[in-house]
Amino acid sequence: MEGIGQRIEKITDTWGICPFEGIPLLPVRSRKRLPEGAKSIIVLLFGYYTEEYPQRNIARYAVADDYHTILLPKLQGLADELAEAFPGEAFVPFIDASPIAEVEAACRAGLGQPGKNGLLINPCYGSYCFIGEVVTTALLDRGTLKGPALCTGCDACIRACPTGALSEKGFCLEKCRSYITQKKGELADWESQEIRLGGKVWGCDCCVDACPRNRQARQSRVPEFYENREPVLTLEVVEKLYPVKAYGWRGQKVLYRNLSLLGNNKKNENDK
């Protein structure tokens, strides 16, 4: 286990291991990549908080370049190292588009507790963290770890939710501003109004920023998250930024639509 820890800690300081058995699996395409006979999940957290941006008009996680392109090579490199160290065992990395119920796996690995908004709360990074996994056929055990009780039940996230998407009854995806900003096609009038009121081209962050556990969140230790940071998206830079940012997967049309709703509908001088 010591050798595994040394390899993992090259890319993150926060990680744990949980059994594969019993973890809920999601019906996504990447499920086909799970190794047959999987026994363990190495769960890794990557904090993404860097600093405050008073003029930010996109979700905090999307300020830096696309975390998929930053973190997946790190996870793949780790998987390759472990496969070499454990001949005959398979190690398969996942980040975001994962068949693993990530928050559940992280909790079982002793890395935290879910908040009322469903996001993981970690003692160091709060909920400002990405969750990655390496699923393996190797039987690994880091000992019994119980995640700390971090959600106080203060309901700050529920009170901060501007649309009522988050309530004591649960979560309604269709009402979530973050979901609405990502929705393709024509929006209902009330949806357009929610984007205007939220002031975000992409995402929301209200429930996350309201969580008291995030007030002392540790700054990111991923060097790439400090490069090419763009907290404000404007019409003039959409074409430059969307290919390298996490919101790029939705394409330009959604971003142009949201910018127009927010009043940033002036044509680029080059288009005159």
- Amino acid at the residue 205: D
Annotated catalytic, 96?
Answer: yes
Sign of CA dihedral 192, 197, 203, 208: negative
Identified catalytic residue from 13, 96, 205, 271: 96
End-to-end CA separation in angstroms for the chain: 62
* Residues annotated as catalytic (active site), given as ranges: 96
